[in-house]
Amino acid sequence: MTKTIYTATEKRVFGKTILAVFLLYASAASSYAQTDSNQQEFPPPAAATPAYLYWTNSSNGSIGRATTAGADPTEKFVEFKPVGGGGLTVNGSYIYWTTANGGSATNIGRAKINGTDVDPNFITGAHNPCGVAVSSSDIYWAGDVGSSIGRAKLDGKDVDQNFITTGGGVCGVAVTGSYIYWANYETGEIGRAKLDGKDVDNDFINASSGSGIAIQGNYIYFTAGGGTAIGRANLNGTDADPNFITGLKGEIAFLAADSKYIFWADWGDRGSGTTIGRANLNGTDVNQDFIKGTKGGFGIAVTGGNP
């Protein structure tokens, strides 16, 4: 074995190199410890923004809100006039609601998603607007004393009160990326048309009854059984089952759904209901008292879901 012999000069250079490396490592470690202790370079992860559930209270003219887990319920998140049961929907920026109150309402209201900038006269001139839904560019509504679905831009401009002719008795409205759907409680049918208003089919699904609809994934859910049941059908209109969930108390007017659950508000006897229900999308784990203390819940919507 060959033994390496270093000169005195080489030993001094080698020693200085080792010392420099050690000092550099010590400095870096000290800097990391200081930065970590001050939580400047490595802050804790931000808390996830909760998803929210919204509903109209027909007996006191307000919109309630709670998390989709049922926490932090407030009955007067938004207050508005006139008092009346109406539908509502939400997107990432705003809450939209209708003011159906027995036939004489004409307005659609809007507020920011945080409950500020309340405008109960955002759109006027509708025929007792009942259900409401939004796409990425437009807002749609159905007036149950009229005979058509209206449409406007999300900023309230370009109002067309007679966008799609449907006949009377239309209330619930929902949209996907391609179609608009509506529920006719007089004929018991769910209608469908393209978002541009073409290819109108007023008899797309025979739902037997119902006023509210919600769409999630490959299914459309609808109120049935005089408001005591929830039906389900494939989004292409097949396999309609009006008894998907049965035995519900009170009277259900509208539905909402997200990626996990379907929600409904118990309107009761003309506004006497006090609860919101929830079930899994497959119809299991029905909880009719998921949220208590509502004031005649009517319309319902959920962030990240379909009204």
Express each pLDDT in 175-190 by its tens digit: 999 999 999 999 999 9
Q: What is the pLDDT of residue 102?
A: 66
Quick check: 6 pLDDT over 80? no
Express each pLDDT in 212-229 by its tens digit: 999 999 999 999 998 999
User: Within the chain, where are the H helices?
Assistant: 8-38
- Lowest mean pLDDT of 160-164, 257-261, 291-295, 301-305, name the range: 301-305
Instruction: Report, as an integer, the average pLDDT of 180-206.
Output: 95
Q: What is the pLDDT of residue 297?
A: 92
Res. 271 pLDDT band, cuts 50 70 90: confident
As a whole number of angstroms, the distance between CA 21 and CA 19 comes to 5
Express each pLDDT in 233-257 by its tens digit: 999 999 999 999 999 988 999 999 9
Express each pLDDT in 66-110 by its tens digit: 999 999 999 999 987 766 678 999 999 999 999 876 677 889 999
As a whole number of angstroms, the distance between CA 118 and CA 112 comes to 7
CA distances from 243 to 147, 187, 229 (A): 28, 18, 6
For the range 99-104, what are the long-range contacts, defined as Cβ-Cβ under 8 Å and sequence gap of 24 or more?
99/129, 100/128, 100/129, 100/130, 100/144, 101/128, 102/128, 103/128, 103/145, 104/128
β 213-216/287-292 pair status:
unpaired
What tokens were used for 149? 């679905």
According to CATH, what is the number of the domain 52-302? 2.120.10.30
Q: What is the pLDDT of residue 250?
A: 82
Quick check: 34 pLDDT over 80? no
As a whole number of angstroms, the distance between CA 169 and CA 142 comes to 9
The C-alpha angle 183, 177, 191, rounded to 5 degrees, equals: 20
DSSP string, 164-227: EE--S-EEEEEE-SSEEEEEETTTTEEEEEETTS-S-EEEEEE-SS-S-EEEETTEEEEEEGGG
